[in-house]
Structure 1
Amino acid sequence: MHRPAGLPKVRGVSTSSVPRPEPAAPSGPRRRPALARITRRPDPDGALPALALFAAVRLAGVLAVVLTNAHRGHPLVRNLAHSWDSRWYLHIATHGYGRLIWISPDGAVQTDWAFFPLYPGLIRALTALLPLTAGQAALLLAWAAAGAAAYGVYAVGHHLHGRGVATALVALWAVLPHAVELTIAYTESLFAALAAWSLYCVLRGRWLWAGSLAALAGLARPSGFAVAVAVALAAAHEALRRRGRVPAALWAGAVLAPLGWLGYVLWVGSRTDDLLGGYLKVQSAWDSRFDFGAGSLRFVKALLLHGGGFVYPAALVIVSAGVLLFALLCLERAPLALVVFAGVLVLLVIGASGSFSSKPRFLLPAFPLLIPMARALARTWRLRRARAVLVYAALTAVSLLFGAYVTAVVHSPL
């Protein structure tokens, strides 16, 4: 046997038993094991500063709307509960479906079946339990759901990247230009809460909860099927990764996820005597259909040729930023469920027709788009705190001013 070079000859001891020096530890920060990321919990104590910041910013947004109304001589809070779609939700909550129609200027018959039932159903239940008007109940539900949504956003961010990024994620979500619509009588805050917690349950492997919350999200908004698609594809990916050896709860969650959305669509179809196509006809009367982006292209062309009010160029900038942020989300290889959920919402915004001024609102629940920005803001906070404060103050000012403008000044659809 040949003795390895550099080892001394020791009588009676095989050179193969001589201990070798341990390799040097690699320089630089150690990567966090994947298991630690998977098992990380929402950290309720650490969430309190993020939730307090969210509440402060959004209450400031409500105050900005109230002050703008006061300056213009309008009722102080009426447009928070009675703007555009809010009136339809309140009418459904009070009188039920099939009681309200509207004839559009082009002769289309628009019915209340276009509006999904979870939010008006909760309004009706709350007014039955408490001495509240429908408008008051609608606002109370929207504000409570906004807080639950912010905590869900924090939980997802904390699970993936820890407390700093989670706090930055909630902070950025609070100051989106159109975030005022989280605190008016609309369904965005309720949908966002259900979506965020469903996606968090996917990340934690709690498939029954994920599917149940996705089913409720499907009863909240037409775009609720985005959550169902995310849950189903994440479940399929997990089944392939485990070569089919998965718990029954995974399949149950995947089956539950689309039932809310599918159930309401089929119910509308039964009421219109067209089981499969009835809901699409109802939405078409509202000029809401998937036309593969033809309507969006016509809008951009008209805007470039003829111009438009401030709201429409701003909406185009916000939607374009959403597309860019989705590309960044994909580049950083975010979890599949988050990418699918955000991607479906972006696709619907670009590919569907309808008023372009409303499209930023449809992106509000797509909080995963903000993850790349949240990571950058968290790094800036650690290294250049004064700069991070300045950037965030500017974003907050834009959000408050823009929110008050679109809610209390202009008359474009929200």
Structure 2
Amino acid sequence: MTQPDLSAFGHDPWLMLGKALGIFVFLLLTVLVAILMERKVLGRMQMRFGPNRVGPKGMLQSLVDGVKLALKEGLVPAGADKPIYLLAPVVAVIPAFMAFAVIPMGPVVSVFGNHTALQLTDLPVAVLYVLAVTSIGVYGIVLAGWASGSTYPLLGGLRSAAQVVSYEIAMALSFAAVFLLAGTMSTSGIVAAQDRTWYVVLLLPSFLVYVTSMVGETNRAPFDLPEAEGELVGGFHTEYSSLKFAMFMLAEYVNMTTVSALATTMFLGGWHAPWPVTLWDDANGGWWPLIWFVTKLWIFMFVFMWIRATLPRLRYDQFMAIGWKVLIPVSLAWIMVVAVLKSVGRNGVVPMILATAVTLAVPVIVLRIRRARRRPVRPPVTQSFRFDPLAGGFPVPPLPGKGVHINVPDHVGVEAPIRNGKPIVNGSVLTGGGGHHG
């Protein structure tokens, strides 16, 4: 495995302090903009207006919401475990900021005459550091649900624990293929390995698994089971108010930013300029790469919002089945494919694309075969049938597009479509017999 060059980090403590402060301010501003943008994007996608009252075109809405939360009264439930109850928001928000420390946002630049990389620090196992820190952040949600002393927050915390176990495994496995191809776990080394071809082209299955996993990892719709308002009345943060509630929201959006930045680093070339901007000689020099990095990051942030406006929340069994029965098996199979191609020296663009097509085609074929086997076979109905509108006790006519459950000897529960108020079986209209409307 290639050893990364870490000589550009950790020389000037004041410069490191300045970069840490810059990352903190960048994340706070990103959260403010993301909240406002999400509300506006959801409004446009749902054929309604978003915030348009506070400030010019509603641009100050996020700031005002933060001030409003800060001025609210902070309540502590009587049955709560107070020390852990107060500690849980801190445990959730601090790791969210810490994970961004190893994200490379640009190359080496000149800052007040000092040459430094646009990255706080780097490690030989930087990606594993991100996985470890984000896993600790989930404990804030689990502790918040347990310490609230209420049933519904506890259920949300338990769901979060199961969620992080399943989707953290899939996320880590999606990175294994990147490690094999790049030869390093250093984030700056992975970006440097994508100077010609981005890994989204070579490792498309890993990218798809990671994008799915990062939505589940951040508890975002349609995987927002820990805070499902329909059945949990808000979920793990039901008993929180004021700044403590705001800290959970801050942690959620900072985690969105972190996983988006990690996706950019691992699969979209990091701060490298996209084609055809690369035709410009200075595209990857100076401060320009910071623009490319932020643009890619916001593409993923928009995808988060798009998914929330489009997809309904999954059932819990569906959610867990995707993690254990789809993402993890596909990741394991794809790692084996990448390892074999790497060992035989066939890790070019064309072999990897062919391997991607085969890897993605096999699960689709298997799912189609399983669905075909599970599809019930309806027995033919030859006896006549007459629709009775009063069979259920109420005069309800059959609705357009709905069927009638036919109860005839040896054929119970067969559903037939309706045409002109009469059921259609085997292409013909039934006119006699008995049954009931389904």
TM-score, normalised via structure 2 length:
0.29
Per chain length, whose mean CA-contact separation is higher, i.e. which structure has more relative contact order (CA < 8 Å, sep 6+)?
Answer: 1
Identify, as 1 or 2, the structure richer in helix: 1
Identify, as 1 or 2, the structure richer in strand: 2
Greater Rg, structure 1 or structure 2?
Answer: 2
